[in-house]
């Protein structure tokens, strides 16, 4: 039997706080009280190494309230991906990668690691010498398997991210640590939001880095996505996976008419169907274990518009 969640809050109180915080966030209302109390609980468990309490609350929310789960995991990932020192912070930083080509393979940066890191420092104004990158990419399945204490050890430098490297599947990320001075309010407040901008320096870095990786991984086509912190990593990679699956399915049909979808009983399993002219529909499913349904459905709507599909009512 799992030990109870530590004082001052019981598991029931924490569940209630997460639900209320998620409800306020959905209304774009301030949630500082709920956020601060849950963040204090998460921070205490990370510092004392009590991962069981964190997992217990996650499991409860996963069973009962998906919106509260998303809200809670954002806090867990924000804190476990950040290490605070007396005069600086270390944030885990990720460069999401899609590598399409023969299996098995390793995605190695090799002697280009410092060049890639230095160019990204310049393109994103991270600070000279502030970014350390792992020399190999890490698959999404490996990243998904890590628990909060492991993330926290990586952010604190107690574990090297090269320990995660192995055969690289189609999706994953290059893992790095970004050092920011504690008094650098501008960089701390931005939190890489500007990485989404298509500046000339970022575009040049992206093209150059994709070329360097393809040179070192023969037969593989590489595509990079904007750098993110831990709390934004999994939604981005899973959106890329869904886009890739639907685009591939659409190419199998000469004339795709509509896209329909539904959520399976298994939490986080989205099933979808493309109706085609003159042939059987093309169906598939995509896992979204801890994303909000609203986020995924908004992505489906944008994708349908881009592929010029009619978005049909949900599947029965």
- Counting residues of the chain whose pLDDT is more than 90, the rounded percentage is 62
pLDDT at 31 over 60: yes
In tens, the pLDDT along 37-94 reads: 999 999 999 999 999 999 999 999 998 999 999 999 999 999 999 999 999 999 999 9
Q: Which of 80, 115, 134 is the endpoint of a domain?
A: 80
Give residue 118's pLDDT.
Answer: 97
DSSP letters spanning 48-90 = HT-HHHHHHHHHHHHHH-HHHHHHHHHHHHHHHTEEE-SSEEE
Give residue 176's pLDDT.
Answer: 96
Arithmetic mean of pLDDT, 239-255:
86
Total count of domains within the chain:
3
Radius of gyration for the alpha carbons in the chain, expressed in angstroms and rounded:
21
Question: Are residues 47 and 121 both part of a single domain?
Answer: no
Angle between helices 11-26 and 51-64 (to 10 degrees): 60
Give residue 4's pLDDT.
Answer: 44
Question: Are residues 98 and 226 both part of a single domain?
Answer: yes
Give residue 268's pLDDT.
Answer: 83
pTM for this entry? 0.91
Compare 151 and 6 and report the one with higher pLDDT.
151
Confidence of residue 281 (pLDDT cuts 50, 70, 90): confident
Confidence of residue 263 (pLDDT cuts 50, 70, 90): confident
Least confident of 195-204, 241-250, 262-271: 262-271
d(CA 89, CA 79): 11
Question: Are residues 270 and 305 both part of a single domain?
Answer: yes
Give domain status of residue 50, yes or no: yes
Question: Are residues 170 and 280 both part of a single domain?
Answer: no
Compare 103 and 10 and report the one with higher pLDDT.
10
Question: Are residues 150 and 257 both part of a single domain?
Answer: no
Give domain status of residue 241, yes or no: no
Give residue 104's pLDDT.
Answer: 67
Question: Are residues 103 and 182 both part of a single domain?
Answer: yes
Give domain status of residue 240, yes or no: no
Question: Residue 95, SS3?
Answer: strand
Question: Are residues 93 and 201 both part of a single domain?
Answer: yes
Question: Are residues 109 and 54 both part of a single domain?
Answer: no
Give residue 276's pLDDT.
Answer: 82
pLDDT at 2 over 50: no
Give residue 6's pLDDT.
Answer: 45
Give residue 261's pLDDT.
Answer: 87
Question: Residue 145, SS3?
Answer: helix
Question: Are residues 56 and 170 both part of a single domain?
Answer: no
Give residue 310's pLDDT.
Answer: 84
Compare 182 and 185 and report the one with higher pLDDT.
182
Of 73, 113, 28, 18, which is closest to residue 291 (Cα–Cα)? 73
Question: Are residues 189 and 102 both part of a single domain?
Answer: yes
Q: Which of 60, 80, 100 is the endpoint of a domain?
A: 80
CB count within 10 Å of CB 272 equals 21
Give domain status of residue 153, yes or no: yes
Q: Which of 80, 109, 140 is the endpoint of a domain?
A: 80
pLDDT at 288 over 60: yes
Give domain status of residue 237, yes or no: no
Question: Are residues 171 and 304 both part of a single domain?
Answer: no
* Residue ranges making up the domain that contains 258: 252-311
Give residue 8's pLDDT.
Answer: 63
Question: Are residues 123 and 205 both part of a single domain?
Answer: yes
């Amino acid at each position: 039997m799992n030990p109870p969640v530590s004082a001052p809050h019981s598991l029931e109180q924490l569940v209630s706080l997460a639900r209320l915080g998620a409800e306020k966030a959905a209304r774009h209302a301030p949630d500082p009280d709920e956020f601060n109390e849950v963040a204090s609980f998460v921070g205490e468990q990370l510092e004392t190494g009590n991962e069981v309490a964190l997992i217990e609350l996650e499991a409860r929310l996963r069973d009962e309230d998906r919106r509260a789960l998303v809200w809670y995991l954002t806090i867990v990932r924000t804190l476990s991906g950040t290490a605070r020192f007396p005069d600086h912070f270390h944030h885990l930083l990720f460069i999401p990668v899609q590598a399409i080509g023969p299996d098995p393979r390793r995605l190695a940066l090799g002697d280009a690691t410092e060049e890639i890191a230095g160019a990204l420092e310049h393109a994103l104004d991270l600070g000279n010498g502030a970014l350390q990158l792992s020399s190999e990419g890490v698959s999404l399945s490996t990243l998904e398997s890590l628990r909060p204490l492991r993330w926290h050890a990586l952010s604190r430098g107690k574990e090297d991210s090269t320990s995660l490297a192995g055969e690289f599947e189609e999706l994953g990320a290059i893992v790095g640590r970004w050092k920011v001075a504690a008094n650098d309010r501008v960089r701390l407040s931005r939190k890489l939001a500007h990485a989404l901008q298509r500046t000339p320096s970022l575009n040049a870095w992206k093209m150059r880095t994709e070329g360097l990786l393809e040179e070192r991984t023969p037969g593989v086509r590489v595509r990079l996505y904007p750098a993110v912190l831990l709390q934004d990593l999994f939604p981005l990679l899973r959106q890329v996976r869904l886009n890739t699956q639907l685009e591939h399915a659409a190419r199998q049909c000469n004339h795709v008419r509509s896209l329909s979808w539904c959520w399976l009983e298994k939490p986080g399993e989205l099933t979808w169907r493309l109706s085609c002219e003159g042939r059987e529909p093309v169906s598939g499913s995509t896992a979204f274990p801890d994303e909000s349904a609203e986020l995924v459905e908004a992505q489906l709507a944008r994708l349908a518009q881009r592929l010029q599909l009619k978005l049909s009512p949900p599947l029965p």
